[in-house]
Amino acid sequence: MQEFCFNCDYEKELQPKREPVTITVRGEPISATKEFYQCPNCGHAFTSSLGHDALDEAYREYRRRHGMLQPEEIRNWRTQYGLTQSELSTLLGWLDPSLSKYENGALQEETQDTLLKFAMEPINLLQLIKRKPEAVALDKRARLIEQLSSNQSLAKHLEYLYAAYWGNGTAISSEKKLDFEKKDFLIKQLQILRPISNSQFA
C-alpha cells in the first residue's frame, strides 16, 4: 500500500484502483485489467504493487489464443529434467538469455515456441542431448540419456500394449485376439505404465 503521494505530498493512504484496459499485442487488441494507486488529492496515478500486471495478463491471453506455452509450462518442463536454463539454452542453440526471459513472462516468438514444443517431446530432447552432449553436465547427461531412452522404450511398449488390447494397431493381427488372462495382464501393465508416461507431459 502506498502511504503518500510523491506528486503533491498528500500524506494519507492512496486508493487502489482497477480499470479495464486494452493492450495491443502483436497487432491484436486484448482486454486486461490495470491496477494502480490514485491520489485522491491531485488524481495522480501510480503503478501498482498489488501483484497484478496487465501486460502479463494480456500476454497470457495472447499465448492462450495462439496455443503457445505459458512461462510456468516451460519452467516446469525444464526443472522436471533437472536442466539449468544455461544447459537448455545451449541444447536449443540459444545463446542469449531468451529462455530466462520467457520463463519470467516475456512473450516468445512463434518459431521459439515451436522449437520448445519440439524439444518437449522426450525423443527429441534425447536427440538434442546426443547431438550436443557437452551442453549438459556429465553425471546429469548419463542419467537423462538413460531416463529418456527408457521413456522411449516405455512409450513403444505402451503403444504395443494399447494396440494389442484394442486390436486396432498393427502390433498384433486380429486373428490373435487376446484371451481373458492376457487382457487382465495388459490392463495391469497399462495401469503401471500410464502414470509414468503421463508424468512426462504433466
Spell out the residues 6+ positions from residue 44 whose beta carbon is closer than 8 angstroms to its own: 5, 6, 7, 8, 38
Tell whether residue 104 is a contact of Zn ion (CB under 5 A): no
Beta bridge partners of 22: 31
Residue 12 gets which letter from DSSP?
S
5 or 91: whose CB is closer to Zn ion? 5
Please tell me whether residue 15 binds Zn ion under the rule CB under 5 A. Answer: no
13 binding Zn ion? (CB under 5 A): no
Q: Does 39 bind Zn ion (CB under 5 A)?
A: yes
Q: Given the complex with Zn ion, which of 9 and 28 has the nearer CB atom?
A: 9
The side-by-side arrangement of strands in the sheet containing 15-25 is: 15-25, 28-38, 45-47
CA distance 124 to 178: 33
State yes or no: residue 189 binds Zn ion (CB under 5 A): no
Q: Does 5 bind Zn ion (CB under 5 A)?
A: yes
The answer to whether 8 contacts Zn ion (rule: CB under 5 A) is yes
Tell me which DSSP letter residue 113 carries. Answer: H
Tell me 66's DSSP state.
T
Interface with Zn ion: number of residues (CB under 5 A) = 8
Choosing from 19, 33, 42, 199, the residue that interacts with Zn ion (CB under 5 A) is 42
Cβ atoms of 64 and 57 closer than 8 Å? no
- Distance between CA 129 and CA 22 in Å, rounded? 42
Among 17, 21, 23, 41, binds Zn ion (CB under 5 A): 41
Query: Applying CB under 5 A, which part among 10-18, 109-117, 178-186, 192-200 lies near Zn ion?
Result: 10-18
Indicate which single residue of 7, 47, 49, 168 sits in contact with Zn ion (rule: CB under 5 A): 7
Comparing CB distances to Zn ion, the nearer of 44 and 143 is 44
The answer to whether residue 10 forms part of the interface with Zn ion (CB under 5 A) is yes
Closest listed residue to residue 64, CA positions, set 88, 94, 31: 31
Q: Which residues bind Zn ion (CB under 5 A)?
A: 5, 7-8, 10, 39, 41-42, 44
